[in-house]
Amino acid sequence: MNHSLGAYEPIVGQAVIRQLRTLGEKFKGLHVLHVNSTSEGGGVAEILTWMVPLMRELGIEAEWKVIRGTPAFFSVTKAIHNGLQGKPVSLSRKEWETYFAVNAENCHELRESLERAELVVIHDPQPAPLLALCANRKGKWIWRAHIDISRPARPVWKNLRDIVEQADASIFSMARFAQPLPHPQFVIAPSIDPLSEKNMDLPDKELEEVRERFGLAPDRPLLVQISRFDRFKDPVGVIQAYRLVKKVLPVQLVLAGGGATDDPEGSEILDEVKEAAGEDPDAHVLLLPADAHRTINALQRLADIIIQKSTREGFGLTVTEGLWKGKPVIGGDVGGIHLQIANNYTGYLVNTPEGAAHGIRFLLHHRDRMAQMGVTAKEFVRANFLLTRHLRDYLTLMAWLLWGDDRHTIMV
Amino acid sequence: MNPFEIKDCALLTRTSGLPAAVNLRELRDRVASCHPDVLFHHFCETPLVPSFDYPDYRNDFAVWAKWRLGDQVLAERLGMIDPYSLPTLEDLRAATLEVIDDRLSEVAMIPWARPGQEFHFMQAITIVFDTGERIAHPDELVSAVSRMTNSSIYFHVLEARRRDPVGVDDFSAWLKGCDGQWGHYIRALESIDVTFFTLSELREKLIAVLTRAKDLGPKGGRP
């Protein structure tokens, strides 16, 4: 369900909404097209689900197109995704041809919108070849990288760089993710929607229903990691941390994630995680449907501590979600998690299962500290990582695209 | 009396094109050669960039020196550089280099950061827009400030100090041009040490001192 801008006023304040409406006035009728590779599952689809309607409410002619692909295509794009995040991968010429051929078909189907749009935002590597394939583009094209490509596998980046160089600008979630490119590179952090099913307040009755559904004990601390079943999220490391804690404290663990249509590796990793969890009745490994947003929301709210022990991370929206629910988060000392977790204020940054176990034990023995961190965490997200700030960043980018030059200050 | 035009702004942060600094020597070299907008960003625009709310210091160089180089002495010295007390960005550059050069002459080993903790040199584009709102009379300042966004506060109180007239916030500049006795409001604004507050705190501080000045009137003492 999408909400109007006014619905966010009680959360972010009247001034913030007024600012968006004033700025949005400048872009009425502007045709903006977002292109990505999945309509559900994963942070990008979630962001576009709210952003496109809000842009429309401001009078922007916003469109969202999803490219279509074959299983072979998504295997290639998953390998590219992994390579960009630093995993050594090698793609054959045939695989690159598949990548381009599927994008060429999509380019043909989307040509009218692609050529007409005044601003095209290409999200992540899957649809990136459109940058090279759409010959008659008229508007400005932006490549939006949502993942950490600070240390990519070179053969993969070399090929992709030739494509994304053709954008007019690129956007990264953090400065350290940026790569040398011949166009301006902007830094825009992602955000969460506080009124979405995944983040809205839920009645206690619903929380209890979810607790019962998954057989979670109400009287024992609950640790929750929500994420795709992906090696970079280190689900097995989370189980190791849980086991270290369980030696001394009676904790429960939930590892829950949904599948995404562009992630063919998910089921393989899920099997590994189930094997690692074994027969332990307090280690719950849950594969949830892509639309189980309220369930995920409830699990995060039932948690005492949220974990996101990634070894590579773009931004880590599940960290943002956890902080928004007033929970301390124990997160991997990587990527965008740095931006969100400040040791002793909103949680702990860790590098190992041992580090995670230490943080969990400390917090469970200091409940007052946990409560204080929860308050700080929520206000931190309210100020920095809600969709209203994200929408404002996009409007600002539009202003630069329309009127920008080398000046520091642009009056619009 | 011309009404005060309430403006608002939004930052678009971009990479500067400079390589990240791994150690203090590299930081020095990049500070010496970077575009003035880079200095402005890391000293002055930090309140508008998403970051943790309770930093030890108010500029990015000092924060990096403390947390990534582990050099408390350098952090303390960099942290006390007040970008608004220096007339130009070149003066700010010179002051920063002086502190770094002093430190380089003191240390036996060049402090360095671990991989992944490098200093990234950024700059920003500021998009300024008219909110359409106006303050018709100085006595309306308090209610107007209470309705302003954080970024509007930043633009009129902090960013203004680097525009002509340099070192003066927009409210004071407007009050000085208004007919009548508004010195009590100007003194109230001058009493705030603007660099030591978050923008939300700064708004509250503005409301507090302006309310007191309004209550005391033109003949009242310093707030």
Up-side HSE of residue B147: CA atoms within 13 Å toward CB?
Answer: 13
Q: d(Cα A361, Cα A305) in Å, to the nearest integer?
A: 10
Q: Is B209 left (phi over 0), alpha (psi -120 to 50) or beta?
A: alpha
Q: Interhelix angle for A235-246 vs A353-365, to 10°?
A: 50
CA-nearest residue of chain B to A411? B128
Nearest CA in chain B to A412: B129
Cα separation of A291 and A293, whole Å?
5
The residue of chain A nearest to residue B8, with distances taken between CA atoms, is: A19
Q: A401 is written with which tokens?
A: 């695209």
Read off the tokens for B36. Answer: 């003035």
3-state DSSP call for residue A222? strand
Q: pLDDT digits over A338-348, tens only? A: 889 988 899 99
A222-226/A252-258 β-pairing:
parallel
The answer to whether residue A297 scores a pLDDT higher than 50 is yes
The H-assigned helical ranges of B123-182 are 141-147, 150-153, 170-177
The C-alpha atoms of residue B7 and residue A402 are separated, in whole angstroms, by 20
Q: Which residues of B touch A26 (CB under 8 A)?
A: 129
Q: A317-324 vs A367-384: helix axis angle to the nearest 10?
A: 120
Q: Which distant-in-sequence residues (6+ apart) come within 8 Å of B120 by Cβ?
A: A175, A176, B15, B20
| Confidence band for A412, pLDDT divided at 50, 70 and 90 | confident
Enclosing H/E stretch for A409 = strand A409-411
**Mutate which of B125, B147, B162 to disrupt the A interface (most A C-beta within 10 Å)?**
B125
For B:55-114, CB contacts with A below 8 A are none
Q: pLDDT grade, residue B221 (50/70/90)?
A: low
pLDDT of res. B116: 81
- Say if A165 is an interface residue toward chain B (CB within 8 Å): no
Q: Does B10 touch chain A (CB under 8 A)?
A: yes
The per-residue pLDDT for range B129-144, each reduced to its tens digit, is: 999 999 999 999 999 9
Q: Give residue B55's pLDDT.
A: 66
Chain A positions in Cβ-Cβ contact with residue B15 (cut-off 8 Å):
175, 178, 184-185, 187
Give the closest-approach CA distance of B100 to chain A in angstroms.
Answer: 23
Cα distance from B106 to chain A (closest Cα, Å)?
Answer: 30
Which residues, including other chains, have CB under 8 Å from residue A108's CB and lie 6 or more apart? none
B50 close contact with A: CB closer than 8 A: yes
A184, B14 Cβ separation under 8 angstroms? yes
In this prediction, residue A334 carries a pLDDT of 85
Binned at pLDDT 50, 70 and 90, residue B222 comes out as low
pLDDT of amino acid A135: 85
Q: What is the ipTM of this complex?
A: 0.89
Per-residue confidence band for B217, with pLDDT thresholds at 50, 70 and 90: confident
A350-372 pLDDT tens trace: 999 999 999 999 999 999 999 99
Q: Do B53 and A380 touch (CB under 8 A)?
A: yes
Q: What is the pLDDT of residues B195-209, one digit of tens each?
A: 888 888 899 999 999
Q: How many CB atoms lie within 10 A of CB A207?
A: 15
Are A186 and B120 a contacting pair at CB < 8 A?
Answer: no
Helical segments of chain B, H only: 24-33, 36-44, 60-67, 72-79, 89-106, 141-147, 150-153, 170-177, 183-190, 199-216
Best of B6, B15, B42 to mutate (most A CBs within 10 Å, chain A)? B15
pLDDT at A54 over 60: yes
Q: How far apart are CA A267 and CA B209, in angstroms?
A: 61
* Record: contact A389-B124, CB cut-off 8 A: no
Interface A-B, measured as beta-carbon pairs within 8 A, has a size of: 102
- Confidence category of residue B223, pLDDT binned at 50, 70, 90: very low
Q: Which domains does chain A have, with CATH numbers?
A: 5-191+387-403 (3.40.50.2000), 204-384 (3.40.50.2000)
Q: How far apart are CA B189 and CA A353, in angstroms?
A: 52
Q: Count CB neighbours of A168 within 10 A.
A: 16
Q: Rounded to a whole number, what is the distance in Å from the CA of B186 to chain A's nearest CA?
A: 25
CA angle at B161 for the pair B156 and B167, rounded to the nearest 5°: 135
- Taking only the tens place, the pLDDT of each residue in A275-285 is 999 999 999 99
Of A354, A187, A367, the residue nearest B13 (C-alpha): A187
Residue A221: pLDDT above 90? yes
Which letter does DSSP use for residue B155 in this model? I
Q: Which of B54, B125, B131 sits opposite A408 (nearest CB)?
A: B125
- Mean pLDDT for chain A overall: 93
Query: What is the overall mean pLDDT for chain B?
Result: 92
**Which of B193, B197, B194, B173 is closest to B185 using CA atoms?**
B173
Residue B195 DSSP label: G
**Strand-pair partners of B122:** B15
Inter-chain CB proximity B120 and A345 less than 8 Å: no
Closest Cα of chain B to A105: distance in Å?
34
The rounded distance, in Å, linking the Cα atoms of B11 and A409 is 9
Tally Cβ neighbours within 10 Å of residue A289: 11
Helices (H) and strands (E) in chain A, counts: 16, 13
Return d(Cα A77, Cα A263) in angstroms, integer. Answer: 9
Of B13, B20, B53, Cβ closest to residue A186:
B13
**pLDDT band at A315; cut points 50, 70, 90:** confident
Residues of chain B contacting residue A380, judged by C-beta atoms under 8 Å apart:
52-53
User: Can you tell me whether residue A1 is helix, strand or coil?
Assistant: coil
Which residues in chain B have their CB less than 8 angstroms from residue A410's CB? 125-128
Give the Cα separation of A109 and B209 in Å (integer): 61
Distance of CA B71 to the CA centre of its chain: 23
The H or E element spanning position B134 is strand B122-135
Q: Which residues contact A406 (CB under 8 A, 6 or more apart)?
A: none
pLDDT band, residue A228 (cuts 50/70/90):
confident
How far off is chain B from A336, nearest CA to CA, in Å?
11
Identify any residues that bridge with B123 across adjacent strands, giving them in sequence order.
B14
Residue pair A302/A207 in contact by the 8 Å Cβ criterion: yes
Q: What is the pLDDT of residues B171-190, one digit of tens each?
A: 999 999 888 789 999 999 99
Q: What's the CA gap between A229 and A256, in Å, rounded?
A: 8
Please identify among residues 114-143 of chain B the ones whose CB lies closer than 8 Å to any CB of chain A.
116, 118, 120, 122-132
Measure CA of the first residue to CA of the last residue in chain B; give whole Å: 25
**Residue B216 in tokens:** 């005391």
Give yes or no for B164 touching A (CB within 8 A).
no
- Tokens (6 digits) for B59: 């500029």
CB A37 within 8 A of CB A103: no
Contact (CB, 8 A) for A190 and A390: yes
Q: Does B8 touch chain A (CB under 8 A)?
A: yes
Nearest CA in chain B to A383: B50
What is the arithmetic mean of pLDDT over B5-19?
A: 95
Query: Which pLDDT value is given to residue A258?
Result: 75
Exposure of A244 in the CB half-sphere (CA atoms within 13 A):
17
Q: What is the pLDDT of residue A408?
A: 87
Percent of chain B at pLDDT > 90 equals: 75
Reading across the β-sheet that carries A119-123, which strands appear in turn?
A61-66, A31-36, A119-123, A140-145, A169-172, A185-187, B4-15, B122-135, A409-411
What value does the mean pLDDT take over residues A313-329? 93
Residue position matching structure tokens 């608002």: B8
Interface contact flag, A380 B52, Cβ < 8 Å: yes
Question: In what helix (H) or strand (E) does residue A225 lie, and over which residues does it extend?
Answer: strand A222-226
